[in-house]
Amino acid sequence: MRIVTDVGMELGKLVYSNRRRHAANAPLVPADRQKLRILGLFLLAFFLGG
């Protein structure tokens, strides 16, 4: 289940808009696309391979 949670968190970071930060000193929220790709491949392998 952790893989699904991590995919959800990375997808959330990916769609989060960093342009409209409410505070000037708010940190950026970068998405780790490589991690998302690897986790996606793990899920795909799980569903295809059982």
Rounded to two decimals, the pTM is 0.75
Q: What is the pLDDT of residue 21?
A: 62
Structure token digits, residue 47? 């569903």
What is the rounded CA–CA span in Å between residue 1 and residue 50?
Answer: 15
Q: Please indicate whether residue 21 or residue 5 has the higher confidence score (pLDDT).
A: 5
pLDDT interval class at 9 (50, 70, 90): very high
Name, in order, each residue with C-beta under 8 angstroms of 30's C-beta and a sequence gap of 6 or more. 13
Provide the residue ranges of all domains of the chain, joining segments of one domain with +.
2-49
